[in-house]
Amino acid sequence: MSVNSIQTKPSVIFDWSGVISNDLDIVLETYNDMFALYGKGPFSLTEFRKTFELPYDNYCKNVLGDTVSLETLQYLFQDIYLKKTIQPYVIPGVEDILKRLKEAQIPMVVLSSHSFV
C-alpha cells in the first residue's frame, strides 16, 4: 500500500477532563486531600490554575519534591478521587456535538490521563 492510496478521513479526538467532563472541583479536592497527607496545601482554585501542569507528576514534584513515588501518587489520587461524593458533569452542549458527529459518521476518540475513567 502506498502513501498515496491511503484515504484520509476526518476524526475527532477529545480530552475527557475539561472538554467532555467538568471534574475540576473533584480534581482540586483530590489534590488538596492528597497533598494534605504530606503537610502541603490546601490550594485555592486560582492557585491550582496558575501552577498545575501536565504531565501531572511534574505538578506533584513541584509541590512535594521527590519525596513520593509516582506509583504512590497514582494510587493515592485514584483512591481519593473515587471516594468523592461530588460527581463530574458533562459540559453543556457536548452531548449535542457528540450526537452530530456520530450522525455524520465521524470517528471519535476520548483520551484521559485518568487510567480509571
74 lies in which domain range? 24-87
- pLDDT at position 2: 58
89 DSSP 8-state letter: E
Is residue 6 predicted with pLDDT exceeding 70?
Answer: no
User: What's the pTM value of the predicted model, to 2 decimals?
Assistant: 0.77
Does one domain contain both 11 and 53?
no
When the pLDDT of each residue in the chain is averaged and rounded to a whole number, the result is: 89
Does one domain contain both 3 and 54?
no
Does one domain contain both 32 and 72?
yes
- Tell me the C-alpha distance between 1 and 46, whole Å: 52
Residues 114, 16 contacting (CB under 8 angstroms)? yes
C-alpha cell at 23: 471534574
**Poorest-confidence range of 11-25, 28-42, 66-80, 103-117?**
103-117
Does one domain contain both 37 and 73?
yes
Q: What are phi and psi of 111, to 5 degrees?
A: -110, 150
Confidence of residue 100 (pLDDT cuts 50, 70, 90): very high
- pLDDT at position 55: 86
- Tell me the C-alpha distance between 80 and 33, whole Å: 7
- The total domain count for the chain is 2
Does one domain contain both 34 and 80?
yes
Q: What is the mean pLDDT of residues 27-51?
A: 96
Is residue 42 predicted with pLDDT exceeding 80?
Answer: yes
Residues 34, 78 contacting (CB under 8 angstroms)? no
